[in-house]
Structures are given as structure tokens and as C-alpha cells.
Amino acid sequence: MMNYDAARTDPPDSPEDEPAVRADSLTVVRGTRQVLRDLAFTVPRGQITGLLGPSGCGKTTLMRSIVGTQAKVTGTLDVLGHPAGHPSLRTRIGYVTQAPSVYDDLTVRQNLDYFAAILAPGRSAADRRADAVTRAIADVDLTSHADALAGALSGGQRSRVSLAVALLGAPELLVLDEPTVGLDPVLRRDLWALFHDIAASRGATLLISSHVMDEAERCHRLLLMREGRVLADGTPEALRARTDSETVEAAFLHLVDEAAATARAKETTR
Ligand SMILES: Nc1ncnc2c1ncn2[C@@H]1O[C@H](COP(=O)(O)OP(=O)(O)OP(=O)(O)O)[C@@H](O)[C@H]1O
């Protein structure tokens, strides 16, 4: 990470009201293109923030930057009181990518056992590991499939195994890249209920991306993105009110038109 300077003294633990993520003048280059441009936003703690925008607008790039796996990041990006990518954040953040990262030739429980052993190795932690694995499998509603091979599960079930892996370490910040894509409406509803439960019962912060605007209404706050920029940041209610729109989708379209009109006005005054 460009903004992680090993020589920099760690800031003191941030107070609870510090945002989970704070970005300022954040820019990311991929290949030869600037794909995130001068972003400034915060993600509050203990809430679900939805990262919404059309395909290719930069959601995954922003998530990769926050979890510290993205190169060519400049500007300020602080996560849980540290610069993004700081080694101390590794166990405090759970990241679920779009492609489920599970071993198909292991059962659900064996997958979880494997990742639990990396997080808490050694015989002395065996009981704690077994409890954490059982709880994570129950959290994602896969108890009845615990002994099934991951390779024999449906796409949605495999995504839930990935989510269970991310829940193992009880992370303070969960970053979920399109976790509900391709899932049926019942499963989508159940997963959103689980996300709300994780935020409410553990005080965890969730950053969840989606390009399905109807999921916006399920979030406490939204970051609306388009073409590498943040168009708006606020609660769904505030965004609807500000744009005099009935839905977040209508609010988004209003903001896109507004941004285009502002750009045109700037061009003509040059
Ligand atoms: N490895 C790469 N090298 C160069 N450019 C890339 C690379 N990966 C992504 N991009 C570009 O960066 C931009 C943002 O991509 P990103 O994956 O962050 O978008 P996204 O909003 O997550 O899209 P989706 O919803 O389809 O997953 C896109 O224009 C994409 O073409």
C-alpha cells in the first residue's frame, strides 16, 4: 500500500465513535487507468454500509484497497484506526470475494477446521476452534450440510461457506463483495437478516457491495458509486429525500443526471 509507511508510529487505538473507514483524496490506478478518483468518505462503525453502483464502477477495487490487497493506492485510507494494509488489521477484517474461496474436496466442516487452525493454531486452542467452527456453520445455516463436500454444494451454499470462513475470527469489519449475487429471494432475505444480526449482536461493521439497487433499502447507509467516483453518501432515507425520489434507484438516476449537468455546465464556462 502506498499510504502505509512502516516507519510511521501507530496511532493510538481509536475511540469507538471513530469511523471504521476514513478515505480522503483516495485514488487508485489499475493498469494505465485511474479507476478510483479522489474519493472522500467515511464508513461508520457497527452499521451496514452498502456500496452500490453499476458493474465496473470500482466497487471491488475499493474493497481491495480497504482490505489492503490493492496496489497503486494513493491518498489517505485509514481502517479501524490504522493505515489500510497494516499488519495488525489482518485478524480484524473478514473479506469475502466474489469467487467463493473454499476447497471442493473437503467437507464444509473440514474447510472451516482448516481455516480455524490457521487463525488459532495449537492443541490448546482445539476446543475453542471446534466451538467457533460449529457456530460459524450455524450462523450461515449450513449445519445440515456440515459433512457434505463443498464441491457438491450449490453456488449459493458455497458462498455461505466462504462467509462462514470470514466469520470465524469474529472480525470487527466484514467486507463482502456481492454476497447475494445469483441467490434466490428467500436466501437473499435470510442472508440480509444474518448481516443485520451480525451488526446488532456483535457491533461489527459491514461493507457490502451490490449492483442490485433494491438491496440498498436494507442498508443503514449507502455509498453510491459511478465511474470511479462517489456520487453520494448517506442513509437511504436522506438520499431519497434530497433527490425527491421514491426509491434509491430513482435517487441514483437523479444524481447521475445532476452530475452530468454539472459537468456540462463546467465545460461551457471554460
Ligand atoms: N486487473 C485489472 N487491470 C486493469 N484494470 C482493471 C483490472 N481489474 C479491473 N479493472 C478495471 O477497473 C475498473 C473497476 O473494476 P472493479 O472490478 O473494481 O469494478 P466493480 O464495480 O467491482 O465491477 P463488478 O460489479 O462488475 O464486479 C473497471 O473499469 C475494470 O475494467
Q: What is the pLDDT of residues 213-246, one digit of tens each?
A: 888 999 999 999 999 999 999 999 999 999 999 9
Pocket test for ligand 1, best of 28, 29, 30, 225 (most atoms within 8 A of CB): 30
pLDDT of 67 higher than 50: yes
Write out pLDDT tens, residues 245-260.
999 999 989 998 888 8
> For residues 99 and 224, which has the higher predicted lDDT (pLDDT)?
224
3-class SS string, 222-257: EEEEECCEEEEEECHHHHHHHHCCCCHHHHHHHHHH
User: Which CATH architecture fits 21-92+171-269?
Assistant: 3-Layer(aba) Sandwich (3.40)
Residue with CA nearest ligand 1 atom 8: 30
- 11 has a pLDDT exceeding 60: no
Q: Is the pLDDT of residue 31 over 90?
A: yes
> How high is the pLDDT of residue 10?
44
Per-residue model confidence as pLDDT tens digits over 154-204: 888 888 899 999 999 889 999 999 998 878 888 888 889 989 999 999 899
80, 157 contact by CB (below 8 A): no
Q: Is residue 269's pLDDT more than 90?
A: no
Q: How far is the CA of 60 from the CAs of 66, 173, 207, 226, in angstroms?
A: 10, 16, 11, 13
The finding on whether 58 has its CB within 6 A of some atom of ligand 1 is yes
- Residue 35 CB–ligand 1 contact under 6 Å: yes
CB of 60 shorter than 6 A to ligand 1: yes
CA of 70 to the centre of ligand 1 (A): 12
Across 82-97, b (16+ Cβ under 10 Å) vs e yields bbbbbeebeebbbbbb
* Boundaries of every domain in the chain: 21-92+171-269, 101-170
Mean pLDDT over the full length of the chain: 90
Say what the pTM is.
0.88
Q: What is the mean pLDDT of residues 139-154?
A: 94
Decide if pLDDT at 12 tops 70: no
pLDDT at 4 over 70: no
Q: In testing the pocket of ligand 1, which one of 36, 52, 57 has its CB within 8 Å of the most ligand atoms?
A: 57
Quickly state the pLDDT bin for 16 (edges 50, 70, 90): low
Testing ligand 1's pocket by substitution, the residue of 60, 230, 252 carrying the most ligand atoms inside 8 A of its CB is 60
Confidence of residue 9 (pLDDT cuts 50, 70, 90): very low
Share of the chain above pLDDT 70, in %: 94
Confidence category of residue 7, pLDDT binned at 50, 70, 90: very low
Instruction: Please tell me the predicted confidence (pLDDT) of residue 15.
Output: 59
- Full strand arrangement of the beta sheet holding 73-79: 33-43, 21-30, 73-79, 82-83
Instruction: Confirm or reject: Cβ of 61 under 6 Å from ligand 1.
Output: yes
Tell me which residue has its CA closest to atom 7 in ligand 1. Answer: 30
